[in-house]
Chain A
Amino acid sequence: MNSLKTIKKSLLTIAVLGAFNVAAETVAITNTTIYTGTDQGVMTDANVVIDGGKIVAINPASLEVDRTVDGSGRVLTAGFIASLNQLGLVEVGAVSTSRDARAKKGGITFDASLAFNPESTLVPFARKGGITHSVVSPRGGDGIFSGTSFNVDLSGDFDSVVSTESAVIAGFGAASKDSRASSLQSLKDKLKGQKDKLDKAAKKDDDKKAKEPSAEEKLLTALLNGEKPLIASASRATDILNLLAIKKEFGLNLVLAWSYDAVKVKTQIADAGVPVILNGMHNLPGNFDSLSASLETAGELEKAGIKVILANTDSHLIYNLRLDAGNAVSYGMSAQGALQAVTSNVAEVFGIEGGVVAKGQPANLVLWSGDPFEISSSALNVWIDGEEQDLTTRQDKLRDRYTSKEDKRRGYIK
């Protein structure tokens, strides 16, 4: 309990300073072990200096800072980045009025970022698990597209949405009311249609007459240009191969998601340079599309040279992402690979700045009590853009209320 109080006190100090001074405060995390996530690998006895929201120095000759945080015996990593969840778009799953992830029709242009709620209780709960950013995605919809994903930080501030339209989200494979062929054909038709339009427009001499493209056309063009990733969920090997062929035909920036049969075609996926997003804990055949689901999938894909992203889709439990990574290591992933699977790989695919601990990078950092993937460890300090975050949650408040020794009716303990 004492350590909690200390943390609270230091937060209070920060809050007071924050009123006029946070941006100016320089902080050094000292004598720590850094899992950089870069080619530098692990650095020991390191000092990391944060200033103006950035990592301004690692191991400078001299430390002249406003404040130091003792990192000895601890591990510093980049903030973990969750992906393809509905954080901030759902408060209680079964409460329909608290759900905003699904548009009735969906469609490629659906942008749920307008619905993002930074004050959701899910945000601090995830943050306490060392998650500093998330790629939030819509779900469902009538056609193949559910919409676009958007990137948020987990500061809980009203300006949490970092960027919108970070990727186009689409679903393929097993379908209960249609053939899986329809969705693949639909994708080809959409891309072909847009490509024809662009080709036609390019042939016209008179630019002035060209109509302003619709939002859908813009997104399809961005897919055709490879500017925006297409996140395609597809598990069965045939679906994966078909998508790889479509990628080749149209020059897509394809990313596969929930591809539990990927091991069967890992060479083709690696050759195409396509990243794969997985729930690392999924190892049972939910249907005939995922007969080879295994805890070893993430490690096997990594060894094949594929960029792997580990994602936990349970928006309420994305704080377990670090344990998903730990289990992936237990079943064959490298520690560095698992770290990148929840930091830099996500950052690269979805266009989030950072994801590594390096000079010049944004100070999205987590100081862990030990191995970040181990159950015994926890996040002690979390910084988002250089600002230290509050790590108390509604759950902490409930615990404190019901474990309080105060001789009071519980309702008065706040």
Chain B
Amino acid sequence: MRKFAFSACFIAVAAVTGCTNNEPQDPKVTIDKNPYPSTYQAAGQVTTLIKGATVLTGTGERLENADVLLVDGKVSAVGQGIEDGSAVVIDGSGKWVTPGIIDVHSHLGAYPSPSVESHQDGNEMTNPVTAEVWVEHSIWPQDPGFEAARAGGITTLQILPGSGNLIGGRGVTLKNITSPTMQGMKFPEAPYGLKMACGENPKRVYGSRTDAPMTRMGNMAGYRMAFAEAAEYKRAWDKYERDYDAGLNPEAPERNIQLDTLKGVLDGEIKIHNHCYKAEEMAMMVDLSKEFGYHAGTFHHAIEAYKIGDLLADNKVCAAMWPDWWGFKMEAYDMILENVAVVDSFKNSCAVVHSDSDTTIQRLNQEAAKVMYRANENGFDIDEAHAITWITLNAAKSLGVDDKVGSLEAGKQGDVVVWNQNPFSVYAKAEQVFIDGAKVFDLNDDSYQAKSDFLLGQK
């Protein structure tokens, strides 16, 4: 990792020259924090009224025989007896309505189908710390997995780099629409994520090359050195800002793309998404975040989260989990089927069900259902209205977009799924999917079933 240069002004002060109020100021150096901005625009928004459905709001409520009205791409009203003469009406009787499903952990587009050599774009395993890479620069929007996920009700998803590195790079949150560009899918104003990884993967990748890290203690050293350097970088920039604002003419610190991202974490602008399975490691990652003054964000996979549910809740960190994956590594050996439910049982908890899979992302509703039913067989009392939060509002919180999506509340973005029946059934299917009030999928209407360029024209 390269050291940044101390500002010339800092050195000059020691020599008692320059940096006075009298010196004219050079133009202020600012860093564009959004150089690849979203160009996403909803297309085909229609005022839509879903009538007489069972509605899971995503806030823990279940409304029977209820209506949902979408106007100008937003949720306009949720409740009973809603009328709108201009709306396209969907008969919701016998159907269930939920917020659009959100997956906080996907590699679609970065590890797309077909998963051929040319498409392995998710892990920049050339250095254990690659905070400078942004997974959005790897995304192939024609991955047929996006269409398959949309058919399963996925409206928002975070694409993350892989877990080969200690700090793998930035993740990006997308709206699940078709677009020839990544920017066209990019969720406007969603914060960036930063992928970190504990445990076996980074130490295996680098240890097998006799590089650091080779051990778990090497992992911890790697994060600490990276954040120590980022703290210095941040201090230098903060000082530059302060001095400039005080009318001085300081020299800006040398730009460092890697440290920009870590500084973003320290500034609270970028959310941590930390692949971390084991209780003892998650506890240390919480301490690490305190050592450097950032928030630990979300632990992904979090197989052993149930062992430290209180600690996670006390520190207000989210845990994103599978219902049942286990045994593929030692750190995944202690899975329990009730993991999500245990984490969820603590006050201030944030339990999320995620996929990390191009297959189960298509059935995140069933993944949540597995947890609910197995937990209820073993002393829990969880209903659908609550369990849906694991794949809607809690997921939105994890991504920092809970002010925009994740629940059916007036003013939120019109991301909605109409299910043909209770979505916690194996037989449930997403019948209609809306993103920002525009229909993007219809099970019974081929004209609303997109096909990726890759599959078009294939026999």
Interface residues of chain A, those whose CB is within 8 Å of chain B, are 1, 3-4, 91-95, 121-122, 264, 281-288, 291, 315-317, 319-320, 323, 326-327, 329-330, 373-376, 378, 395-396, 398-399, 402-403, 410
**B-chain residues with CB within 8 Å of residue A284 when the two chains form the complex:** 113, 144-145, 148, 358-359
Determine whether the beta carbon of B115 is less than 8 Å from that of A286.
yes
Q: Contacts A284-B113, A316-B327, A375-B373 hold; do A395 and B455 have CB atoms under 8 A apart?
A: no
Q: Contacts A281-B359, A287-B115, A376-B373 hold; do A92 and B329 have CB atoms under 8 A apart?
A: yes
CB contact between A282 and one of B338, B359, B424 (< 8 Å): that residue? B359
Determine whether the beta carbon of B426 is less than 8 Å from that of A374.
yes
Determine whether the beta carbon of B306 is less than 8 Å from that of A329.
no
Determine whether the beta carbon of B144 is less than 8 Å from that of A375.
no
Q: Contacts A94-B200, A95-B330, A399-B378 hold; do A330 and B429 have CB atoms under 8 A apart?
A: yes
B31 proximal to A (CB < 8 A)? no
Q: Contacts A1-B378, A281-B359, A285-B114 hold; do A93 and B148 have CB atoms under 8 A apart?
A: no
Determine whether the beta carbon of B324 is less than 8 Å from that of A92.
no
Q: How far is the CA of A410 from the CA of B115 in the complex (A)?
A: 43
Q: How far is the CA of A284 from the CA of B147 in the complex (A)?
A: 10
User: Could you list 30 A-B pairs, sorted by A, with CB under 8 Å?
Assistant: A3-B377, A92-B333, A93-B327, A93-B328, A93-B329, A94-B330, A122-B327, A264-B459, A281-B359, A283-B362, A285-B114, A285-B455, A286-B115, A287-B115, A288-B114, A291-B458, A315-B327, A316-B326, A317-B326, A323-B426, A327-B366, A329-B427, A375-B424, A376-B373, A378-B373, A395-B336, A399-B336, A399-B338, A402-B306, A402-B336
Determine whether the beta carbon of A403 is less than 8 Å from that of B324.
no
Q: How far is the CB of B456 from chain A (nearest CB, A)?
A: 11
CB contact between B327 and one of A1, A91, A410 (< 8 Å): that residue? A91
Determine whether the beta carbon of B113 is less than 8 Å from that of A373.
no
Q: How far is the CA of A287 from the CA of B114 in the complex (A)?
A: 5
Q: How far is the CB of A20 from chain B (nearest CB, A)?
A: 33
Q: How far is the CB of A99 from chain B (nearest CB, A)?
A: 11
**A-chain residues with CB within 8 Å of residue B307 when the two chains form the complex:** 402, 410
CB contact between A317 and one of B113, B114, B324 (< 8 Å): that residue? B324
* In the complex, per-residue mask of B107-141: 1 if CB is within 8 Å of any chain A CB, else 0: 00000011110000000000000000000000000
Q: How far is the CB of A56 from chain B (nearest CB, A)?
A: 32
B85 proximal to A (CB < 8 A)? no
Closest to B330 in A: A92
Q: How far is the CA of A373 from the CA of B330 in the complex (A)?
A: 30
Taking residues whose C-beta sits less than 8 angstroms from the other chain, chain B's interface range is 35 or more
Q: How far is the CA of A139 from the CA of B356 in the complex (A)?
A: 25
Q: How far is the CA of A3 from the CA of B376 in the complex (A)?
A: 12
Q: How far is the CA of A264 from the CA of B458 in the complex (A)?
A: 12
**B-chain residues with CB within 8 Å of residue A315 when the two chains form the complex:** 327
Determine whether the beta carbon of A286 is less than 8 Å from that of B113.
yes
**B-chain residues with CB within 8 Å of residue A316 when the two chains form the complex:** 325-328
Q: How far is the CA of A284 from the CA of B425 in the complex (A)?
A: 23
Closest to A294 in B: B148
B64 proximal to A (CB < 8 A)? no
**A-chain residues with CB within 8 Å of residue B145 when the two chains form the complex:** 284
Q: How far is the CB of B171 from chain A (nearest CB, A)?
A: 21
Q: How far is the CB of B115 from chain A (nearest CB, A)?
A: 6
Closest to A324 in B: B426
User: Residue among A122, A378, A402 with the most chain B CB within 10 A?
Assistant: A402
Determine whether the beta carbon of A323 is less than 8 Å from that of B114.
no
B370 proximal to A (CB < 8 A)? yes
CB contact between A375 and one of B115, B332, B425 (< 8 Å): that residue? B425
Q: Which 9 A-B pairs have the closest CB atoms?
A: A326-B426, A316-B327, A93-B328, A284-B113, A94-B329, A399-B336, A375-B369, A330-B427, A1-B379
B342 proximal to A (CB < 8 A)? yes
* In the complex, per-residue mask of B369-389: 1 if CB is within 8 Å of any chain A CB, else 0: 110011001110000000000
**B-chain residues with CB within 8 Å of residue A395 when the two chains form the complex:** 326, 335-337
Q: Contacts A330-B427, A375-B370, A403-B342 hold; do A287 and B116 have CB atoms under 8 A apart?
A: yes
User: Residue among B307, B327, B378, B428 with the most chain A CB within 10 A?
Assistant: B327
Closest to A290 in B: B114
**B-chain residues with CB within 8 Å of residue A283 when the two chains form the complex:** 148, 359, 362
Determine whether the beta carbon of B378 is less than 8 Å from that of A92.
no
**A-chain residues with CB within 8 Å of residue B333 when the two chains form the complex:** 92
* In the complex, per-residue mask of B324-362: 1 if CB is within 8 Å of any chain A CB, else 0: 111111101111111000100000000000000011001
Closest to B367 in A: A375
* In the complex, per-residue mask of B207-229: 1 if CB is within 8 Å of any chain A CB, else 0: 00000000000000000000000
Q: How far is the CB of A161 from chain B (nearest CB, A)?
A: 22
**B-chain residues with CB within 8 Å of residue A329 when the two chains form the complex:** 427
Q: How far is the CA of A327 from the CA of B325 in the complex (A)?
A: 19
Can you add 7 more A-B contacts, CB < 8 Å, to A92-B327, A92-B332?
A4-B378, A316-B328, A323-B370, A326-B426, A330-B429, A395-B326, A402-B342
**A-chain residues with CB within 8 Å of residue B366 when the two chains form the complex:** 323, 327, 375
Q: How far is the CA of A286 from the CA of B200 in the complex (A)?
A: 26
Q: How far is the CB of A175 from chain B (nearest CB, A)?
A: 13
**B-chain residues with CB within 8 Å of residue A286 when the two chains form the complex:** 113-115
Q: How far is the CA of A403 from the CA of B344 in the complex (A)?
A: 13
Q: How far is the CB of B357 from chain A (nearest CB, A)?
A: 10
**B-chain residues with CB within 8 Å of residue A323 when the two chains form the complex:** 366, 370, 426
**A-chain residues with CB within 8 Å of residue B359 when the two chains form the complex:** 281-284
Q: Contacts A92-B333, A94-B330, A122-B327 hold; do A327 and B426 have CB atoms under 8 A apart?
A: yes
